[in-house]
Amino acid sequence: MRTVTILGATGSVGTSTLDLIEREPDRFRVTALTAQSDVAGLAAAARRTGAALAVVSDARCLPALREALAGTPTEVAGGPDAVVAAAASGADWTMGAIVGCAGLRPVLAAIAAGGTVVLANKEPLVSAGEIILAAAARSGATLLPADSEHNAIFQCLDRDRPERVRRIVLTGSGGPFRDWSHDAMRAVTPEQAVAHPNWSMGAKISVDSATMFNKGLELIEAARLFPVSHERIEIVIHRQSAIHSLVEYVDGSMLAQIGPSDMRVPIAHTLAWPDRMETPVPPLDLVALGRMDFAAPDLERFPALRLCRQALEAGGARPAILNAANEIAVAAFLERRVGFLQIAAIVEETLQRYHPAGPDTLDAVLAVDAEARAVAGERVKDCVV
């Protein structure tokens, strides 16, 4: 029996994780589930799983959660510190599926408690990669990637002989606008941007896929997670999303992980690792798929790729600033306060306007994150849609 905590249990990755663990109640027991403010979704999941603890990050939702779980054995709590405490409760396996840098403190608390910590939540790795890796080295926690590309690389990589790796190839579908002209992208609406062709995901990562910030953040994520220098990590557009990424070795062999575009596959890999478990996901039908296409990414139409590569190369505070500005710009886009093409412009200008020293503590990262949000927020106010 493994104990499981899910941070961000009501989101896209969170509900996929719940779907898997609920199918095997003899194998997994839920320690804690957390959410931002979706009381109904959180309470329903806590009732189904008999979770020991349910936490809402928005403390104003605590009375409603208490009422929804009255008469059940589940304890309730509210507020960001209660989410961190839930993460620290020492489950054998913790899924980090909060969206954005809001997941940083909870993920670090789970890592400090040891056990296995699964990172779907990529933004903390972008903003505070070194701090997260150092914390894992200190506590002995096992970090496993659930992001489909990174999980694919993890499965293909010979971790004992990284010097034998020539190249990592990160694949990306290219998002819903991969074939659109720059001009056509100007008028993109939030509804169009969140309708991803191959994956069903939360709003923020869907917009990130459309701008290709997601692939750029994943480039930084890969550089943090794997012992391969950043110039040896390439991005290739593969519109069918069948190959989730590849590792090329010095002899010319390329190992790819191929599978359905369903997050339950990589999540199951991390739940059972180093074993395997069954999933309800229909197998990928290669004959029906028929073909796999590959293309170079277009850095002109998708400046996010250039900005992320530059931030990774420059290091220091640049990735944290880029991530924070993107979070602000995406939120403003979803609220129709900025246009689609303005997202990358806001990120670029925030990077130009703000040059702090590289942060080497958690508090310093959080300070850079907060200031970058303020700078980006000022830029949002200047935007006309």
Q: Mask of contacts with ligand NAD, 199-238, x by CB under 6 A?
A: x-xx-xx---------------------------------
Residue 218 C-beta: closest distance to Mg ion, Å? 5
Q: Is 123 in the site for Mg ion (CB under 5 A)?
A: no
Among 35, 78, 117, 147, binds Mg ion (CB under 5 A): 147
Q: Which of ligand NAD, Mg ion, none is residue 12 near (CB under 5 to 8 Å by kind)?
A: ligand NAD
Residue 99 C-beta: closest distance to ligand NAD, Å? 4
**Backbone CA torsion sign across 175, 178, 179, 182:** positive
- The Cα–Cα gap between 161 and 146 comes to 22
Is residue 274 reached through a cis peptide bond, with omega within 30 degrees of 0 on the bond before it? yes
From the list 278, 250, 349, 376, the residue with the least C-alpha distance to 23 is: 278
Q: Mask of contacts with ligand NAD, 259-298, x by CB under 6 A?
A: ----x-----------------------------------
From the list 348, 342, 312, the residue with the least C-alpha distance to 329 is: 342
Q: Which of Mg ion, ligand NAD, none is residue 194 near (CB under 5 to 8 Å by kind)?
A: none
CB of 8 or CB of 176, closer to ligand NAD: 8
From the list 328, 168, 346, the residue with the least C-alpha distance to 248 is: 168
Query: Is the separation of the CB atoms in 208 and 147 below 8 Å?
Result: no
Q: Which of ligand NAD, Mg ion, none is residue 8 near (CB under 5 to 8 Å by kind)?
A: ligand NAD
* 2-7 and 93-96 strand pairing: parallel
CB of 91 or CB of 349, closer to ligand NAD: 91
Query: Is the separation of the CB atoms in 62 and 69 below 8 Å?
Result: no
CB of 54 or CB of 344, closer to ligand NAD: 54
From the list 1, 226, 279, 254, the residue with the least C-alpha distance to 119 is: 226
Q: Which of ligand NAD, Mg ion, none is residue 210 near (CB under 5 to 8 Å by kind)?
A: none
Q: Mask of contacts with ligand NAD, 55-84, x by CB under 6 A?
A: --x-------------------------x-
Q: What is the DSSP string of 280-330?
A: -PPPP-HHHH-----B---TTT-HHHHHHHHHHHH-TTHHHHHHHHHHHHH
Q: Is 98 in the site for ligand NAD (CB under 6 A)?
A: yes
CB of 97 or CB of 165, closer to ligand NAD: 97
From the list 40, 34, 38, 30, the residue with the least C-alpha distance to 68 is: 40
- The Cα–Cα gap between 231 and 313 comes to 9
Site residues (vs ligand NAD, CB under 6 A): 8-14, 35-36, 38, 57, 83, 97-99, 102, 120-123, 147, 199, 201-202, 204-205, 263
Residue numbers at the binding site for Mg ion (CB under 5 A): 147-149
